[in-house]
Amino acid sequence: MSSSSSKIMIQAVAAGAAQESSLPLPVKEIPGSYGIPFLSSIRDRLDFYYFQGQDNFFKSRIEQYGSTVFRVNMPPGPFMAHDPRVIAVLDAKSFDVLFDVSRVEKRNFLCGTYMPSTSLTGGYRVCAYLDPSEPNHAKVKQLLFTLLASRKSYVIPSFRSLYSSLFETMESQLTASPGAKSDFNKLNDVTAFDFLGDAFFSVTPSSTNLGTNGPSKANKWLFFQLCPLITLGLPKILEELFLHTFPLPPFLAKSDYKALYAYFSSAAAPVLDTAEKLGLSREESCHNLLFATIFNSYGGFKVLFPVILKWLALADPNLHSQLAKEIRSVVQAEGGKVTLAAIEKMELTKSVVYEALRMDPPVKFQYGKAKHDLLIESHEAAYKVSKGEMIFGYQPFATKDTRVFENGNEFVGDRFVGEQGKKLLKHVLWSNGHETESPTVENKQCAGKDFVVLVGRLLLVEFFLRYDTFTAEVGTVLLGAQVTVTSLTKATSFI
Ligand code: HEM
C-alpha cells in the first residue's frame, strides 16, 4: 500500500468509519481455484477441520492470494453438499453484499452449502430457509415480530427469576468442596431452555411432560442439523464418515422432536390462533415456533452467554468493577428496579455485549447466491461475480477488520461507548445485518435482534448486581466457548 493510501486508511480508522478514497477500484479476477472436483473439496475439508483449523484456513489463503476475496471449497462438501464451491468475502466491505437481498438469494442456505433434511422440521422449510421473495417468509416473520412485541413485559422478570436461580446453584456448587468448579454451559443450557419457554409462552418446559429432558432433546435435534460443521475430537476417520460425509438419519431424532413439538402445540396455542389470522396453518406455524425458539434462540444463547462470560473472565478485573458500578448506580437511580429504560442508560454494559458479539459472532458463516451478475468490492479491488455463484462470508474476519476497528483483534470493553463508539455500531453484524438497522419482513436480519441484545445485557445486570468479580477457566466446545467458573466474589456494595 502506498504511504498516501495508508494515510487515508489511518484517518478512516481514527474517524471510526470505513471511508476510503473515492477513486474507482481496479476490477480484478477473483483469485483461487476449486481444484480437482471431489478430491480438492475433501482436501479443503480436512484443512478446515483438522490440518489448519478455521481461522488459519482463511488467513493462509488471504496471504497466499493477497486478497480478502477468493475462490475456495467450503466444508462439508461431498456427499453432504452437492456443490461446495464458494467465493469467500473476508473483510468488512465485501461482506456487505450478503445483506443485500436484491443481489443475493437466501433460499435454503442457513447452515451453508448443505441443508438438513426437512424431516427434521416436520416436512416444512422453516422461515430461516426462506428467501424474502417467498410469500410465507413475511407471514412467519410477522408472526414472530408479533409474538416478541406481545411478550415485552415478561422478559425482564422471567430472566431475573430464572437466572438468579442459576447463580444460586452456581454458588452452592462452588462452596460444596474446596476447589470445586461450576460448569456455566451446563447450567445455562437448562436455564436458557426454561427461560425461552417462559418468556415466549408463560410455560416453563420443565413444568410440562418434557420435564428436565427438554435441553437434551433439543441438543440432539440441533446436533443432527449442525454436525456437518462440528468436530468432536474423535478419530478423524469416524468424524469424516459419520459427521461430515452423510447426513445422520433423521428418524433417530424423531421421538425427541415429537416430544418438543407436543410442548409447542400446547404451550403456544394462543400464538397459533394469531398465526391462523395471518393466513398460516397451525401446523406450519408450530414447526416454525419450535425452530425459532430452539434452533434460533436456544441455539443462539447456548453460544452467546458463554462467550460474554468468556470475554469478561479474560478481561482486566477493573472492567468488572466498572460494570458493577454502572449497573448498580443506574438501578439505584431507578428506585432499585431493573427496567428497559434503566438498561438503556448502561453505556458500558451495552458496549461489552456488542464487543462480545463483534469478537465472537455466534453464527460465523453467512451464505447467499448471486441473483444476477454483480460486482463485489473489497477495500482494494472490485471482483465480478456471475449469476448463480455462491458467496460465503466468515463473519469474524469482517468484524475484526482492522481497517474498520482499531486493534480489531482485541476485546475492548468500552469500544462502543460515546459518540465515536456509536458510529462503529454499523459494523457489528452478528444479526445478519448492521446493528444500526432493523429486521423487517423484507430482509433476512435476525427477527430476535432486539431481544438478543436485551437479554445479553440482562445477563450482565443480574451478574453484577450479585457479584463484584469472578474467575473462570475458558476453553472451547463444539461451536463456542466453554466457561467453568472457579470463584465468585459477592457484591460488597448493595443498592
Ligand atoms: C443469540 C441469539 C441469536 C443469534 C446469534 C441469532 C443469529 C441469527 C442470524 C445470524 C440469522 C441469519 C442467518 C442467515 O440467514 O444467515 C438469524 C436469523 C433469524 N433469527 Fe436469529 N439469532 C438469535 C436469536 C434469535 C431469537 C431470540 C429469535 C426469535 C424469535 C430469532 C429468530 C430468527 C429468525 C426467524 C431468523 C430468520 C430471519 C429471516 O428469515 O428473515 N433469532 N438469527
Which one-letter amino acid corresponds to residue 380?
E
User: Which pLDDT score is estimated for 12?
Assistant: 34
**CA contacts within 13 A on the Cβ side of 86:** 29
* Amino acid 319: pLDDT: 98
* Mutual angle of helices 184-201 and 254-267, in 10-degree steps: 40
Per-residue pLDDT, 478: 83
What gap in Å lies between CA 260 and CA 297, rounded to an integer? 15
Could you give the angle at the alpha carbon of 428 between the alpha carbons of 425 and 432, nearest 5°? 130
* Ligand 1 contact via 404 beta carbon (within 6 Å): no
* Residue owning the nearest CA to atom 1 of ligand 1: 300
Q: How many Å lie between the centroid of ligand 1 and the Cα of residue 447? A: 6
C-alpha cell at position 39: 478430491
User: Is 253:118 a contact under the CB 8 Å cutoff?
Assistant: no
For the beta sheet containing 27-28, the strands, ordered from the edge strand earlier in sequence to the opposite edge, are: 27-28, 382-385, 374-377
pLDDT (0 to 100) of residue 193: 98
Intervals of CATH 1.10.630.10 along the chain: 115-360+430-495
The residues, ordered by sequence, that sit 6+ positions from 138 with a Cβ below 8 Å of its Cβ are 132, 441, 442
Instruction: Pick the residue whose CA is nearest to atom 39 on ligand 1.
Output: 444
Q: Which helix (H) or strand (E) holds 365?
A: strand 365-370
How far from chain centre, in Å, is Cα 23?
A: 35
Ligand 1 centroid – CA 448 distance (Å): 6
Provide φ and ψ at 467, rounded to 5°: -130, 150
Query: What does each of the 495 residues of the chain score in pLDDT, given as a tens digit?
Result: 333 333 333 333 333 334 455 678 999 999 999 999 999 999 999 999 999 999 999 999 999 999 999 999 999 999 999 899 999 999 999 999 999 999 999 999 898 999 999 999 999 999 999 999 999 999 999 999 999 999 999 999 999 999 999 999 999 999 999 999 999 999 999 999 999 999 999 999 999 999 999 999 999 999 999 999 999 999 999 999 999 999 999 999 999 999 999 999 999 999 999 999 999 999 999 999 999 999 999 999 999 999 999 999 999 999 999 999 999 999 999 999 999 999 999 999 999 999 999 999 999 999 999 999 999 999 999 999 999 999 999 999 999 999 999 999 999 999 999 999 999 999 999 999 999 999 999 999 999 999 999 999 999 999 999 999 999 999 999 889 999 999 999 999 765
**Mutation probe of ligand 1 site: the residue of 106, 139, 296 with most atoms within 8 A of C-beta:** 296
Determine which helix (DSSP H) or strand (DSSP E) holds 384, and give its type and residue range. Answer: strand 382-385
Q: Tell which CATH architecture fits domain 115-360+430-495.
A: Orthogonal Bundle (1.10)
What's the pLDDT score for residue 495?
A: 56
Compute, in angstroms, the gap from residue 123 CA to the centroid of ligand 1: 20
The pTM of the full predicted model, rounded to 2 decimals, is: 0.95
Cα–Cα distance for residue pair 404/406, rounded to 1 Å? 7
Reduced to 3 states, what is the DSSP secondary structure of residue 477? strand
Mention every residue, 6+ apart, whose C-beta is less than 8 A from residue 317: 469
- The candidate with the shortest Cα–Cα distance to 147, out of 267, 261, 270, is 270
Among protein residues, the one with the nearest Cα to ligand 1's atom 18 is 446
Name the helix (H) or strand (E) containing 274.
helix 269-277
Residues, the chain: 495
- Separation of CA 153 and ligand 1 centre (Å): 21
The answer to whether the beta carbons of residues 326 and 349 sit under 8 Å apart is yes
Residue partners of 426: CB distance under 8 A and separation at least 6: 434, 435, 436, 437
User: What DSSP letter does each residue of 60-79 carry, written as one string?
Assistant: HHHHHHTSSEEEEEPSS-TT
Please list the residues that pair with 477 across neighbouring strands: 480
HSE-CB at 303 with a 13 A cutoff on CA atoms is 20
300 Cβ below 6 A of ligand 1: yes
297 lines ligand 1 (CB under 6 A): yes
Which strand (E) or helix (H) includes residue 331? helix 317-333
Of 235, 242, 228, the residue nearest 75 (C-alpha): 228
Residue 369 CA to residue 428 CA, distance in Å, equals: 22
Task: Transcribe 118-136 into DSSP letters.
Answer: GGGGTT---GGGS-TTSHH
Q: CB of 144 closer than 6 A to ligand 1?
A: yes
Q: Hey, how many other C-beta atoms are within 10 angstroms of the C-beta on 347?
A: 16
DSSP bridge partners of 482: 475
Q: What Å distances lie between residue 485 and 130, 131, 311, CA to CA?
A: 40, 41, 13
Distance of CA 470 to the CA centre of its chain: 25
DSSP 492: S
Beta strands 104-105 and 365-370 are antiparallel
Please answer whether residues 91 and 379 qualify as being in contact, where contact means their C-beta atoms are separated by less than 8 angstroms.
yes
Q: Which atom of ligand 1 is nearest to the CA of 147?
A: 30
Q: Is the CB of 299 under 6 A from ligand 1?
A: no
